[in-house]
Structure 1
Amino acid sequence: MAINHPDLYSQSADLVAAVDLGSNSFRMLVAQAVNTPSGTQLRPIDTLRESVRLAAGLTDNKLLGNDAYQRGLTAIRRFGERIRGFDPSKVRAVATNTLRVAKNAQQFVKDAEEALGFPIEVIAGVEEARLIYIGAAHEVSAVQGNRLVVDIGGGSTELIIGRGYEPKLMESLYIGCVSHSMRFFPNGNIDAHAFKEAELAARREIQVIAGSYLKSGWKQVIGSSGTARALAELITNNFSDEPEPLTMGRVNGSSGLITRDGLKAMKKHLLKYEHISQVELDGLKEDRRGVWPGGLAIMLAVFDELGIESMEVTDAALRVGVLYDLLGRSQHHDMRYVTVEQFMQRYSVDREQADRVGKLAGEFLAQLPKPDVEDRADNIALLQWAANLHEIGLSISHNGYHKHSAYIAGHADMPGFSKNDQARLSALLIGHAGKLGKLANNSSFNDWRMLFCLRLAQVLCRGRSDTSLPRVKVSEHGGSYLVTLSEDWIKEHPLTEFSLQKEAAEWERIGRTYRLGLK
C-alpha cells in the first residue's frame, strides 16, 4: 500500500480528515480541530460526497461487480487528491456493511488504500453504531436522559441508545435503503403489496431488539445521515404546513424533522405510482430516487416498532464520529484501551501475568529492527493488548485455551477495534501457544515478529512469578531468530531450556530458523 503521496498542498497542522466508504455513498469530511476550554470542537472546512451505490453492485454470490468496483476506486482517487500530504495520524478511513460482506472486499480495500494513500479499516456493525452515536451526540442539542439515534445506511441500519456522549445499547441490523429497495422494488417497480412486505421484513428485524430498547427508554430521537435527511427534506417540502419547522433547531445541529404523519403521507403519495421514475416530489434528488422507497419502508418500521412520533435529523453521522474518535486516540482516550480493560474484567484475567508477559514481549520487540512500513507505536499497543487478553480463553477451558482466546477476540463486539484490528489480535492469540502450521498457511498473516516476541515472553513467564531473568537478547534477520541468554542461568532452569528447544523446533517446522545462543 502506498502511504501518502508527496506533499502538493500546504496543510494546516490542526486539520483532520475522515473518509466514510458507505454502502450507498462515499463521503469525506475535512475539519479543523479547535481546542476550547470545554474541549475539542470540529470546524468543517471541506466535504466531498460521491454516490457510488456500492451495495447495488453486489452480485448474487456476494462479489462486488466490476462497475461498482471501478466507481468506488474512481471516487476514492478523487478523495486521495484532496488529502494528499496529510499526516497519516490525522486521517482515518472506514468502510461499512458492503465491504463487510463482499467476498472480494480484501482486494478492493487493497486497491482503495493505494488510491487513497491511507489505510482503510473495515469496521464491524457495532463499531459503526458506536461511531455514529459519537458523531450525532457531538452535533445535536444536549438532553437530560437517554437519546436514541437511528441511522439508515445503504446496507445496514444502526440503532443506538446512549446518554451524553456515551453509547449504551448498540445494534446493527442487515437492512438498508439500497439492499431493501433492490429486494422489494426491483427495477424501480412499486406496488402496495411489495411495500407492505418491505415494512414487515424491516419490522421483523427491529422486533428482535425492540424490547430492550423500549425498556431503556429515551428523551430524544435523532435520525442521522443521508436517508433521514432526505426523508426530512421531502416531508418539509411536500407534506408539512410549515416549510421551515425547525429553524431554531438547525442552530443546534438539527437539519429537519421526521414525523409519523409525514411518513404516512409520503407512503400514500408513493403508492399512487407504478414506477419510481414517475414519482413527483419537490426535493427528490435523482441519486436518491432509486433507494428512497426502501429507506421509507425501514423508517416507517422503526417508527411503528419503537412507538416514535417524531424524530430530529442531523447531518452529523459516522464521519463526524470517526473524527472525534480519532482526536480521542491522539489525546490518549483510545476506546480500544477501554474495551481491552472491560474484557480483562469480564474474563477475570490474571493481571500480574498479563503485565509480566506484555512488558517482556515489548522489550523484545524494541530490540528488533523497525521496517520503514511498520507503525511501531501501533504494534506495541497491539502486542500489549494481545498479552492482556492471551488467557481469556481460560474462562472456557484450559485445554486449547489459546483457541478459545482467539475465537473470543475474533468474534466478539470490540468497540474501537476495526475488523483488521480484531483479525490481527485473534491471530496473535491463536499463535501465542501451540503449533504454528495454520498461521504459516495464512498468506495474510504478517505479524511474525510480534508473534515471536509474544511466544518467547509466554515461555519465559511460564512460572507466573517475578523471578529475575538474565539479560535476554533477541535478533532477527530474514525471518530467522536468535535468542541469547546466560548459560549459567539456563543450566539452573532445565524446564525453560526444554521449552525453548521445543519452541525452536516448532519454528523450524514452518521453515524459520530459531537458534538458542548461550553466553
Structure 2
Amino acid sequence: MTKRLALIDMGTNTFHLLITEVDESGNRTDFVKTKLPVRLGQGGISKGTIAPEAYERALKTLRDFRRQIDEYDVETVRAMATSMVRNASNGEDFIKDIYKQTDIQVEIIDGEREAELIYYGVRSAGVLGEQTSLIMDIGGGSVEFIICNNQEIFWKQSFEVGAQRLMDKFFSADPIPDAEVAAEKQFLAEQLRPLTEAVAKYNPSRLVGASGTFDTLCDIDALSHGDNARQLSQPASASLQIADFYKIYQELLHKTHDERLAIPGMLEMRVDMIVLASILVDFVLETYNLKEIRVSAYALKEGVLAQALESM
C-alpha cells in the first residue's frame, strides 16, 4: 500500500514543503521539495511577536503550499511550527488564521521534540555511525544540539540562539566588526553552558551539521573546487573538511553583503545570517575540539517522515 504525505516545516527563516509517496517497502518518490525564504522572524523576533508583513508572507506561502498539496491529492498533511511561533505572543492567532485560510492544522512543537525529530531525520540520511556525534541544526530562532550515535540519543537540548536572533543582537555593521564576533562568542559561551557540560560527559568526536547553513557551506565548498555535480544531485550526506570550512568562514567575515552574494553557491536568503551561523560553527568546533564535519541534507521534516513511516 502506498501512502502520499505532505510535510511542512515552518522555520523562523525558511518554510519547507515536501510532498512524497512511500510504498510498502519504504521506497520514496518525491513530487515536491521546496524551501522558501519566508523570514517569519524578520522585524519581530526580538520583540517576541510575528510582524504584520511576515505574518502575511507566511499565510500567502501556506495558501500556495495548500494548492500544491491539493494538486497531488495528498492523504496526510503534517505541519510543524518551531521557535518563532512557539515564542510569539500572537503565535496562537497565527495558527488559527492558517487553519481558517488553508485548512492546515499546524502543530507547535517544543524544543525537545524538535531536537528528537531532527535526530531521526539526520539518522535517515545515513551520516551517523557507532561513534558519538554532536548534531547541530541552526535555525533562525533556535539551535538544536543532539549528542548521539546511530542507535540512540544520549542528550539533547534546544537553545534560543538562532541566526536571526544573533543577527539582531550582533550584526551592527557589514562586514561584521571583530568586537561583535568576540561578543557573539562570549554570549554563546554563557548560553551554551549545558551543552559544554554534556560534551564533557559524552565526548563526541565529530560535528554533524543538519541542513540549512551547512548545505550552503557544502555548495560553496564544492563549487570552489570546480564540482558542479553536487547542486544537481543534492546528496543526503556529505563531508566538509575543517580547513575548507575555515577558508569559507574567513571570506564570510571579511566580505560585505554584495560580495558574499557573489560567492558561487551562496543563497540570497542566507547571505547575512550565514555570517552569524558560521561564527557559531567556529565556536562549537573550537570549544569542543571537534576534528571532523559531516553534513546531513535531512533534518526536521525527514524526521517526521521517518516516524510516520514507522507507524504505517
Aligned to 2:201: 215
Seen in structure 2, the aligned counterparts of structure 1 residues 170 and 81 have a Cα distance that, compared at 3 Å, is: same
Seen in structure 2, the aligned counterparts of structure 1 residues 297 and 306 have a Cα distance that, compared at 3 Å, is: same
Aligned to 1:161: 147
The match for 2:63 among 77, 86, 89 is 77
Q: Structure 2: how far apart are the matches of 1:60 and 1:144?
A: 40
Q: Structure 2: how far apart are the matches of 1:142 and 1:106?
A: 36
| Corresponding residue SS for 1:56 | coil
Give the partner amino acid of 1:312: R
Matches within 5 A, 1:186-201: 186=172, 188=174, 190-201=176-187
> Aligned residues, how many?
307
The match for 1:26 among 4, 12, 15 is 15
Compute the displacement of 1:171 (Å): 0.9
Aligned to 1:112: 98
Give the partner amino acid of 2:251: H
CA contact (8 A) 1:98 1:155 kept: yes
Compute the displacement of 1:162 (Å): 2.2
CA contact (8 A) 1:109 1:120 kept: yes
CA contact (8 A) 1:52 1:71 kept: yes
Post-superposition CA distance 1:222-260 (Å, at most 9, x none): 21111111122223334xxx445998xx89731x43333
CA contact (8 A) 1:18 1:319 kept: yes
CA contact (8 A) 1:56 1:182 kept: no
The match for 2:288 among 306, 314, 334 is 306
Seen in structure 2, the aligned counterparts of structure 1 residues 154 and 29 have a Cα distance that, compared at 3 Å, is: same
Aligned to 1:16: 5
CA contact (8 A) 1:146 1:218 kept: yes
Q: Structure 2: how far apart are the matches of 1:86 and 1:258?
A: 36
Q: Structure 1: how far apart are the matches of 2:129 and 2:10?
A: 30
Q: Structure 1: how far apart are the matches of 2:250 and 2:198?
A: 31
TM-score where L is the length of structure 2: 0.89
Give the partner amino acid of 2:69: I
Residue identity over aligned pairs, in percent, reads 24
Aligned to 1:326: 308
CA contact (8 A) 2:140 2:162 kept: yes
| Corresponding residue SS for 1:23 | coil
Q: Structure 2: how far apart are the matches of 1:246 and 1:204?
A: 41
Compute the displacement of 1:299 (Å): 1.1
Seen in structure 2, the aligned counterparts of structure 1 residues 219 and 195 have a Cα distance that, compared at 3 Å, is: closer
Q: Structure 1: how far apart are the matches of 2:281 and 2:50?
A: 27
User: Is 2:24 the partner of 1:35?
Assistant: yes
Compute the displacement of 1:165 (Å): 5.0
CA contact (8 A) 2:2 2:21 kept: no
Structure number with greater Rg is 1
Aligned to 1:493: none
The match for 2:192 among 203, 206, 210 is 206
Post-superposition CA distance 1:475-511 (Å, at most 9, x none): xxxxxxxxxxxxxxxxxxxxxxxxxxxxxxxxxxxxx
CA contact (8 A) 1:136 1:316 kept: yes
Give the partner amino acid of 1:54: L
| Corresponding residue SS for 1:148 | strand
Seen in structure 2, the aligned counterparts of structure 1 residues 206 and 80 have a Cα distance that, compared at 3 Å, is: same
Compute the displacement of 1:152 (Å): 0.7
Q: Structure 1: how far apart are the matches of 2:89 and 2:34?
A: 27
Give the partner amino acid of 1:16: L
Aligned to 2:81: 95
Aligned to 1:270: 252
Aligned to 2:216: 230
CA contact (8 A) 1:134 1:165 kept: no
Post-superposition CA distance 1:32-76 (Å, at most 9, x none): 22333xxx3543232121101111231653121110000111111
CA contact (8 A) 1:260 1:308 kept: no
The match for 2:236 among 253, 269, 273 is 253
CA contact (8 A) 2:66 2:102 kept: yes
Seen in structure 2, the aligned counterparts of structure 1 residues 188 and 66 have a Cα distance that, compared at 3 Å, is: farther
Aligned to 1:438: none
Aligned to 1:176: 162
Q: Structure 2: how far apart are the matches of 1:158 and 1:182?
A: 19
Aligned to 2:119: 133
Structure 2 gaps of 5+ residues are none
Give the partner amino acid of 1:26: F
TM-score where L is the length of structure 1: 0.55
Q: Structure 2: how far apart are the matches of 1:116 and 1:165?
A: 38
Give the partner amino acid of 1:51: P
Compute the displacement of 1:199 (Å): 2.6
Seen in structure 2, the aligned counterparts of structure 1 residues 178 and 61 have a Cα distance that, compared at 3 Å, is: closer
Compute the displacement of 1:143 (Å): 1.7
CA contact (8 A) 1:149 1:159 kept: yes
Q: Structure 2: how far apart are the matches of 1:122 and 1:140?
A: 27
Q: Structure 2: how far apart are the matches of 1:258 and 1:308?
A: 13
Give the partner amino acid of 1:282: P
Give the partner amino acid of 2:81: A
